[in-house]
Structure 1
Amino acid sequence: MRSLISKRVHFIGIGGAGMSGLARISLSHEIVVSGSDAKDSSVVKALQALGATISTSHDAHNVDGADLVVYSTAISTNNPELKRAKELGLVTLTRAAALSILMSESKSIAVAGTHGKTTTSSMMAVALQSCGADPSFAIGGTITASGSNAHRGTGEIFVAEADESDGSFIEYHPFAAIITNIEHDHVDFFATLQDVAQAFVDFAATIKNDGFLTYCADDEGTKALAATITSCALVSYGTGAECDLHLDSIELEAMGSRARAIWRGKVVGFIELQVPGHHNLLNAAAVLATGLNLGFGAAELLTGLATFRGTGRRFEIKGTVHGVRVIDDYGHHPTEIDVTLQAARRFAGDGRLIVIFQPHRYSRTQAFYKEFARVLDLADRTIVLEVYAASEKPIPGVTSRLITDAMNHGEYIPNFIEVTDSVIDNAQPQDVIITLGAGDVSSLAPIIVDGLSRRFG
């Protein structure tokens, strides 16, 4: 970033997960940072505390005095700040282009995949810190231990979450990459699974020739992709003995998981996690395989993984009141919800599992409503809120009722107050209540915790 700008950079949509990370790193370079966002938030306040000047409205004059303007692809071309920047002849970069510049100054590791990107990239950063590497990182979620989604490290490695949703991850050209899995998602951008798979093929082709791709051999999509790669080395992980890093002796517990790790025929230790689920063991295996292939020690990597306490909005426990446990999770795709609810069911034990789900985007709801219905029926009670549009225009006939009508016991309740009142009034000790989705459903979790505290005293 310093190579492009010496005075001031302005971020349009600075409160977003990806943009806020770039802003943090820019501030650490002692660049003057300004930005705008449609709403105030804890992220905006944190950046202001670090020295950023932020407006909570989009105004053309916010960019006056800037040397560079960074924007996400979610920003409309009619945004007054973006239009003003182009009228003034300012350099404008997409978020992906700006991130690629930061990554180019380091040995970069890009973490991609339909599911698990945020957790895996967070694990990677923590594991490398345990090795004394002090990596830089830019991640789409907050690492629980550090309370941050980005860091400018002193080491040579940069860990970046590589989001495939708009195809822009082909700009990164990493030294190493992880692909956790490949499924159809982001149906507003990718019409078919084949389109998604091709995007990942294009991404893998950008890995440096002397670098490598770490891929999950348990996933059919990534396994098929790996079979086509000839431009870089391959490192596989999974539960099969043929993998470079394979797991066995797997143990899944209520709030943790454990597995023996075997690296190219040699037992290197046990992965022991404080986060639940088989999927998180695979995420950790990706990190261990990548770290080992980079030359880091197994003991140090495993110690880092053992200290990992999770990422914000990924099976995040928000509170426990009178035995009622409240969890918030970002899951918004049927596969993500499936593994999350399986972990939640183990966590609930003999208690009930109560889910409040908010579908994210009309296009995703239309494409996957039957799959949503199937996995949500794993809960004892499921309340479905109305679709969170995420800037999409409504699609005729597409509402959350598509999901509840296909369920055995789904409840369609669009009113937030009615939902929280119902859940609070009917909660029993040992229940697990989980708010689920990528929209603003997360705001309900603290309200439920507060309401339970008042009810039970």
Structure 2
Amino acid sequence: MENFTSLYFIGAGGIGMSALVRYFLAKGYHVAGYDRTPSDLTEALINEGAEIVYDENSALIPEYCRHPKTTLVVYTPAVPESHNGFSYFRENGFTIVKRAKLLGMITRTSKALCFAGTHGKTTTSSMAAHILAQSPLECNAFLGGILKNYNSNLILSNTSEFTVIEADEYDRSFHQLSPYMAVITATDPDHLDIYGTEEAYLESFRYFTSLIQPGGALVIKKGIKVQPDVQKGVTIYQYSADNGGDFHAQNIRIGKGTIIFDFVTPKEVISDIELGVPVKINIENSVAAMAIAWLNGVDAVDIRKAMASFKGAKRRFDFWLKTANIVMIDDYAHHPDELKASITSVRALYPDKKISGIFQPHLYTRTRDFYKEFAAALSLLDELILLDIYPAREQPIPGVTSKLIFDKVTCSNKELCHKDMLLEKIKQRNFEVLITLGAGDIDRMLPAIKEILSA
């Protein structure tokens, strides 16, 4: 990086890219970029000093990013080859790298603690980052969600040797990393548009384990399918919520809006861990996060204090409204197993309430590959409003619509709805507990939904 004085990010508003934008702004670089649409995140980046546009016209690239020797260009796999700005940089001899490669370059100079998995990795990595940041060890962290404790997806330290990273398996991005320690939370098949088969997906995780550096460790959920292939000198630990393993919970106490348990490690039991976000799935997530912190020397007092003060990440079981009459929760869940875990957690918190859900499917390929599994998870609801598929990077696939899911959902109160009609539908309903689900753009409607429910 010593030759570069500026960076241009194509897809700057993505959750992973934006953490890098913030990192290089903090390091004093000139930073500009493009994103397809404005968002709260892009507006925050602009306020922090980045120059971001929403038109791909290369004429809008600022002068300080027009010099190939001093400008590094960063992109995500979701950016099409035909993108005008992308074409300009390719045709004019710029150094162009994927986001994952740049993240790998940064983390090779520190002890990288990498969190991978089909689901659970954002919450688990965020918990670990918070524990370390609140301890004398501190950390840098590049995360896949906006942490409420910091109002950012980036944590910086000028002294820490540790970097916490959410390791994304999409497009095999996590193969660019050099973990000192790694966590694997889940390996339920996903991204089959990239991998093709479950076997190839699992092989990608197996290869990821081979990247862990000697002297480090792998903390892997007990019972998942991956067969680790670690280097000599890497220690493997297993964890679970309450199903044994090297790290697990015991003496779990759930009630009156709290979850408290004892954390079992290979050498000690840390009593009375209280979850700041008291959701049942967070028992498992916190065990993995605390395991990494404990293995790196964080003591019981700091672990206990950090877990109680952890406020969670936005869009991860995020309470927007909680009154005697109505509860509104938002969750990023976009894989069938995530939906099942989220809905089951809501049901455990509110066993006597009607549980309603609004789900926006994410990607045509994911819908095509898992529509039966989506339907089974959504059938756990009492009431479902199902939106159109959010395409993200994909073109439509003939015959693949939300109706594939809808037709197999078994809850009796279900309805298909176009997004532009959603607010009117909500005005006509009486909700007790409403959970919005999906990884698309449904989050942009949350303030309006909350306003209707609060009226």
Whether TM exceeds 0.5 here: the answer is yes
Residue 23 in structure 1 maps to residue 21 in structure 2: yes
- Could you tell me which residue of structure 2 aligns to residue 58 of structure 1? 56
Residue 101 in structure 1 maps to residue 105 in structure 2: yes
In the TM superposition, 1:412-431 aligns within 5 A as 412-428=415-431, 431=432
- Could you tell me which residue of structure 2 aligns to residue 433 of structure 1? 434
Structure 2 SS opposite 1:301? helix
- Could you tell me which residue of structure 2 aligns to residue 176 of structure 1? 181
The residue type equivalent to 1:397 in the other structure is G
Q: 1:276 aligns with which of 275, 278, 284?
A: 278
1:27 deviation in Å?
0.5
Identity among equivalent positions (%) equals: 33
Residue 209 in structure 1 maps to residue 207 in structure 2: no
CA distance in 1, matches of 2:118, 2:83: 29
Shift of the 404–393 alpha-carbon distance from structure 1 to 2, 3 Å rule, reads same
Shift of the 110–322 alpha-carbon distance from structure 1 to 2, 3 Å rule, reads same
1:181 deviation in Å?
1.3
- Could you tell me which residue of structure 1 aligns to residue 141 of structure 2? 137
1:368 deviation in Å?
1.1
* Deviation readout 1:318-343 (Å, 9 max, x if unpaired): 12466211111100111000110011
Shift of the 381–11 alpha-carbon distance from structure 1 to 2, 3 Å rule, reads same
Q: Is the 8 A contact 1:332 1:360 kept in 2?
A: yes
- Could you tell me which residue of structure 1 aligns to residue 348 of structure 2? 346
Q: Is the 8 A contact 1:21 1:139 kept in 2?
A: yes
In the TM superposition, 1:329-344 aligns within 5 A as 329-344=331-346
The residue type equivalent to 1:174 in the other structure is P
Q: Which moved more, 1:373-382 or 1:17-26?
A: 373-382
- Could you tell me which residue of structure 1 aligns to residue 68 of structure 2? none
Q: 1:153 aligns with which of 149, 154, 157?
A: 157
Structure 2 SS opposite 1:189? helix
Q: Is the 8 A contact 1:327 1:445 kept in 2?
A: no
Structure 1 SS opposite 2:194? coil
CA distance in 2, matches of 1:75, 1:451: 36
Q: 1:111 aligns with which of 115, 121, 142?
A: 115
The residue type equivalent to 2:136 in the other structure is G
- Could you tell me which residue of structure 2 aligns to residue 80 of structure 1? 84
- Could you tell me which residue of structure 1 aligns to residue 201 of structure 2? 196
In the TM superposition, 1:394-409 aligns within 5 A as 394-408=396-410, 409=412
Q: Is the 8 A contact 1:10 1:63 kept in 2?
A: no
- Could you tell me which residue of structure 1 aligns to residue 359 of structure 2? 357
Shift of the 319–420 alpha-carbon distance from structure 1 to 2, 3 Å rule, reads same
Shift of the 255–149 alpha-carbon distance from structure 1 to 2, 3 Å rule, reads farther
CA distance in 1, matches of 2:367, 2:13: 25
Structure 2 SS opposite 1:166? helix
CA distance in 2, matches of 1:24, 1:416: 32
Structure 1 SS opposite 2:289? helix
Structure 1 SS opposite 2:282? helix
1:214 deviation in Å?
1.1
Shift of the 273–286 alpha-carbon distance from structure 1 to 2, 3 Å rule, reads same
CA distance in 2, matches of 1:17, 1:184: 22
Shift of the 445–427 alpha-carbon distance from structure 1 to 2, 3 Å rule, reads farther
1:445 deviation in Å?
2.4
- Could you tell me which residue of structure 1 aligns to residue 35 of structure 2? 37
The residue type equivalent to 2:419 in the other structure is F
Q: Is the 8 A contact 1:255 1:274 kept in 2?
A: no
CA distance in 1, matches of 2:102, 2:332: 26
Q: Is the 8 A contact 2:388 2:419 kept in 1?
A: no
In the TM superposition, 1:445-456 aligns within 5 A as 445-454=446-455
CA distance in 1, matches of 2:187, 2:315: 22
CA distance in 2, matches of 1:410, 1:152: 47
1:244 deviation in Å?
1.8
Residue 186 in structure 1 maps to residue 191 in structure 2: yes
- Could you tell me which residue of structure 2 aligns to residue 382 of structure 1? 384
CA distance in 1, matches of 2:285, 2:367: 27
Structure 1 SS opposite 2:344? helix
CA distance in 2, matches of 1:320, 1:247: 28
Shift of the 385–254 alpha-carbon distance from structure 1 to 2, 3 Å rule, reads farther
1:268 deviation in Å?
2.0
Structure 2 SS opposite 1:30? coil
Q: Which moved more, 1:245-254 or 1:15-24?
A: 245-254
Aligned Cα root-mean-square deviation (Å) = 1.8
1:193 deviation in Å?
1.4
1:275 deviation in Å?
1.8
The residue type equivalent to 1:23 in the other structure is V
1:175 deviation in Å?
0.8
* Deviation readout 1:260-307 (Å, 9 max, x if unpaired): 111115312232112233321111111111111112212212211111
Q: Is the 8 A contact 2:143 2:153 kept in 1?
A: yes
* Deviation readout 1:57-95 (Å, 9 max, x if unpaired): 112231653211111111112211121112221111100
CA distance in 1, matches of 2:45, 2:435: 29
Q: Which moved more, 1:344-353 or 1:432-441?
A: 344-353
* Deviation readout 1:426-446 (Å, 9 max, x if unpaired): 225xx1111100001222322
Q: Which moved more, 1:182-191 or 1:238-247?
A: 238-247
Give the TM-score normalised by structure 2.
0.94
Shift of the 313–405 alpha-carbon distance from structure 1 to 2, 3 Å rule, reads same
1:186 deviation in Å?
1.0
CA distance in 2, matches of 1:150, 1:256: 28
CA distance in 2, matches of 1:150, 1:277: 24
* Deviation readout 1:155-203 (Å, 9 max, x if unpaired): 1111110000110211111111111111101121122211111000111
1:256 deviation in Å?
4.2
In the TM superposition, 1:256-295 aligns within 5 A as 256-295=258-297
In the TM superposition, 1:222-237 aligns within 5 A as 224-226=226-228, 228-231=229-232, 232-237=234-239
Q: 1:69 aligns with which of 67, 73, 86?
A: 73
CA distance in 2, matches of 1:151, 1:86: 32
Q: Is the 8 A contact 1:316 1:328 kept in 2?
A: yes
CA distance in 2, matches of 1:241, 1:426: 41
Q: Is the 8 A contact 2:130 2:306 kept in 1?
A: yes
Q: Is the 8 A contact 1:244 1:289 kept in 2?
A: no
